[in-house]
Amino acid sequence: GEFTLDSRRRILSKNDGEIPISAKNYDLLFELVKNEGRILTHDEILDSVWEGTFVEQSNLKKGISALRQILG
């Protein structure tokens, strides 16, 4: 598609133009892409993206919302 996710440099781009994305939102997007075709639970995502940190589930909702806005 028009988006590219460079896991080595941790960059999201669209049509060769870099898209600004926070580190945590990059981690969330990478986790979703890495598990393409698989349904992930809230807990699985929270454990992998916010590993070892106590966060509320609302952080995940905010992250998904931000990704939707970033990706259009």
Give 23-69 pLDDT, tens digit per residue. 999 999 999 999 999 999 999 999 999 988 888 889 999 999 999 99
Residue 40 φ/ψ, nearest 5 degrees: -105, 140
User: Residue 38's pLDDT is what?
Assistant: 96
User: Residue 57's pLDDT is what?
Assistant: 83
pLDDT for residue 1 is more than 90: no
Separation CA 22–CA 38 (nearest Å): 24
Residue 19 φ/ψ, nearest 5 degrees: -105, 125
User: Residue 56's pLDDT is what?
Assistant: 85
Separation CA 61–CA 42 (nearest Å): 10
